[in-house]
Each structure stands twice: as C-alpha cells, then as structure tokens.
Amino acid sequence: MLAALGVLSFSFSFPGTAWALEGFGPWSVTGIRGALAAAIAVVALVVTRAPRPRRADRTALIVVAVGCVIGFPLLTTLALQTSSTAHSAVVIGVLPMATATIGALRTGRHPSKVFWAAAATGAAAVITFTLAQNHGRPTVADLYLFCGLLVCAAGYAEGGRLSARLPGWQVIAWGVVLAAPVSLAVCAIALPVEPVHLGAKAVTGMLYVSAVSQFGGFVVWYRGMGLIGVARASQLQLAQPLLTLVWAVLLLGERMTAAVPLTAVVVLGCIVVTQRARAA
C-alpha cells in the first residue's frame, strides 16, 4: 500500500505543476518548491535526530540534489509552459528505463541483450512519438523534457545506490537540504521579476509539488520499497505515466490523440521487459 501510495502521489506531479504555473513563473515554482521541501526536511531530520551523512556519501547526495531537486523540477516546469501534461507524461515515461540504464553503467553490471533491445525500443517509441507530434521536429519543451529525465535518472540511480546504506527518506531529505541555498537564491531572484497571482489552483498546486512531489511522496515510496522489495515496487511504478494521463483529462481537461495512450502502453511494455531482464 505504501509503495502504491507513492506512485499515486507522483502521478499528480505534472498536473500540480500545471496548476502552480497558473499563478507563478517557472523559476518561482522551482525555487519555492525546493525551499518549502527543504523546510519540511529540516524538521524531519531534527525531530528524528538523523546523523549527518558521511563524507563519502556527499557526492551522491549532490547528484540527487542537482538531478531530483533542481534539474528535473526546473526543466519539466519550463516544458509544461508550452507542452501538455499528457505529452510530457509520455516523454518522461521512459524514466524507469533511463534510471535502470544509468544504474547498470554506474555499478558496472552488464544487462542482457534483451534489456538493451527493450530499452532501445522504448526510447525509439518516445522519439518517434515526439517527432510525429511536432511535424518531424522536436520542440524546445521536448528538449527540456529529455534533459530533465536524464538528470533525474542520474539522481534516482545515485539515490538508489545510496539507499543501500541510508534510509531512503534521509537520502531525499539531505538532497533537498543541500539544494536549499540554490532554491532560496532562485526565489530571491525570480519572485520580484515573475508575476504572482495567488489563486486557489496555483496555491494548491504549489503546496502539492512542494510537500508531496518533492518530499512526502519519496518518504512513502522508499518505505514501501523497503517493505516489499525494489523489484516488486518498480512494477507498481509502471502505472505512473498512465495515471498522469488520466489526471490530465479529468483535472486539466486536456484532449489527446490516440497516439498518446498507444505510445504510453508501448513504453509500459518495454519497461516491463527491462525490469524482468534486469532482475534475471
């Protein structure tokens, strides 16, 4: 249940970001999101009296901070200014495969040919979908999304490796704390420049991506992984892009062509094959 709750919470991240963008600029969304998450993380670390991470772990935590706290939120927020939530969900749907690939390279493991074939097929499906949606040319939003999934995959891979020694929630907690100076600096620079309109949707979206997407979702997700194992939990994560497509229709009123769910299902199948091939 905890792992499923984590997947469910992450599936609302793009709609939450879209709502936040109705009242804040993209840089403000990223800065406020990181700053509020850092405040929550500091309280959690102090209350639990969590020990400071070892010096040997700091490099991995910096990768988590850069990839998952700064890079991915900023790049996807910039993309969502012009890209639909449904389109973005399909592109980011290859994140589990990218994470598995970087993780395999980082640990020196050699996945099977089946793994690489499925990963290549999934990537080709997303690239074909992206080009078909934009008359054969990727948009700036697509470039933001591809860069975002790469830096996030690196953060996930390092965070997953580090979670073998630290509780998972502490990994993301220290990640947002390390990124706090950057988040606060972005807030200080962006808020006076970008317009702010405090509507109900904007505030709700901002609070959600700050408290849940950036911190709380990771807490239940990592706890669930600890209880049922990484392999089984990762199977639940396969539903995340499809759930985001549902919320895009129900919450944002987006319309999508048949290519959107079709590509999402193809990517889903490729991820299932990579997960099983990696486990084998």
Is 155:67 a contact under the CB 8 Å cutoff?
yes
Q: What is the Cα–Cα distance from 172 to 155, expressed in whole angstroms?
A: 10
Residue 56 pLDDT grade (very low, low, confident, very high; cuts 50, 70, 90): confident
Question: DSSP characters for 90-125?
Answer: HHHTTHHHHHHHHHHHHHT----HHHHHHHHHHHHH
pTM comes to 0.84
Q: Give the mean pLDDT of the chain.
A: 84
Q: Please tell me the predicted confidence (pLDDT) of residue 231.
A: 47
In the structure, what pLDDT confidence band is assigned to residue 238 with cuts at 50, 70 and 90? low
CB 89 within 8 A of CB 70: no
Q: Which residue has the higher pLDDT, 257 or 63?
A: 63
Tell me which of 43-47, 192-196, 269-273 is least confident. Answer: 269-273
What CA–CA distance (Å, rounded) separates 72 from 159?
Answer: 14
